[in-house]
């Protein structure tokens, strides 16, 4: 897994127990999130750091303008995000959210499929 496999351009909805968040991956260094309802409602574009950690699996971290710190383990094969958030109050949240893609990435890649194809004998 490499940075070129990070789904830039993808839009998704992630459902956590306390709220839904809408994410747009602007680039390998920028993400926009929107929480549209509830006491955490807001929209912000943040600078992110992305670390590929496996097939369609990325650790993504950022600091929000209000001081909250977020780390996501984004699993695109399973459609699950594990989120770890430190709020400005010091409260620490661990959340699991299910992800639904609302607009696909500009370039879609899956290393597992590519690796399998690379090991198959050629026909012909």
Q: Over the stretch 12-22, which tens digit does the pLDDT of each residue have?
A: 999 999 999 99
Angle at 60 between CA 59 and CA 61, to 5 degrees: 125
| Separation of alpha carbons 65 and 81, rounded Å | 22
Q: Which domains does the chain possess?
A: 6-118 (2.40.128.20)
Two tokens at 107?
């370039």
Mean pLDDT of 109-119: 43
Lowest mean pLDDT, pick from 2-11, 24-33, 92-101? 2-11
């Amino acid at each position: 897994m490499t940075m070129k496999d990070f789904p830039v351009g993808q839009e998704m909805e992630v459902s956590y127990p306390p709220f839904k968040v809408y994410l747009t991956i602007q680039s390998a260094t920028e993400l926009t999130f929107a929480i549209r309802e509830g006491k955490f409602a807001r929209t912000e574009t943040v600078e992110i750091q992305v670390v590929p950690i496996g097939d369609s699996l990325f650790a993504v971290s950022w600091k929000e303008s209000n001081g909250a710190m977020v780390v996501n383990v984004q699993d695109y094969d399973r459609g699950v995000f594990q989120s770890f958030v430190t709020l400005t109050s010091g409260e620490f949240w661990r959340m699991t959210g299910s992800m639904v893609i609302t607009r696909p990435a500009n370039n879609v890649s899956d290393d597992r499929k590519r690796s399998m194809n690379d090991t198959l004998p050629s026909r012909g």
